[in-house]
Amino acid sequence: MVDPFGMKLGAKAARLLARLGRTEIRPGLTEQELTGVEARFGFSFADDHRAFLAVGLPTGGGWPDWRRGDAAQLRSWLDKPVEGVVFAVAEAGFWHPGWGTRPAGRTAAVAGAKAHLASVPQLVPVYSHRYLPAGRATSAHPVLSIRGADIIPYGYDLIDYVHQEFGGPQDSTDEERQVVAVTAAFWADYLSWSNQEGDSAAG
Q: CA-to-CA distance for 30 and 37, rounded, in angstroms?
A: 11
Q: What is the 3-state secondary structure (H, E, C) of 58-121?
A: EECCCCCCCCCCCHHHHHHHHHHHHHHHHHHHHHHCCCCHHHCCCCCCHHHHHHHHHHHHCCCC
Residue 46 has pLDDT above 80, yes or no: yes
> What percent of the chain is modeled with pLDDT above 70?
88
Quick check: 92 and 57 in contact, CB under 8 A? no
Q: CA-to-CA distance for 74 and 105, rounded, in angstroms?
A: 32
| CA 52 vs CA 47, 103, 115, 120, 203: distances in Å | 9, 42, 32, 24, 40
Q: Which of 90-104, 132-146, 167-181 has the lowest mean pLDDT?
A: 167-181
Q: Which of 55-69, 123-137, 154-168, 171-185 has the lowest mean pLDDT?
A: 171-185
Backbone angles phi, psi at 135, to 5 degrees: 135, 105
Residue 202 CB neighbour total at 10 angstroms: 6
Q: CA-to-CA distance for 44 and 35, rounded, in angstroms?
A: 8
Dump pLDDT digits (tens) for 181-200: 446 789 999 988 988 875 55
pLDDT, mean of residues 3-22: 94
Cβ-count burial 3-15 (b if 16+ within 10 Å, e if not): beebbebbbbbbb
Dump pLDDT digits (tens) for 102-120: 999 999 999 999 999 999 9
pTM of the model: 0.90
> What percent of the chain is modeled with pLDDT above 90?
74
What is the reported pLDDT for 167? Answer: 86
Dump pLDDT digits (tens) for 127-150: 999 999 999 998 989 999 998 888
pLDDT, mean of residues 55-72: 96
What is the reported pLDDT for 163? Answer: 94
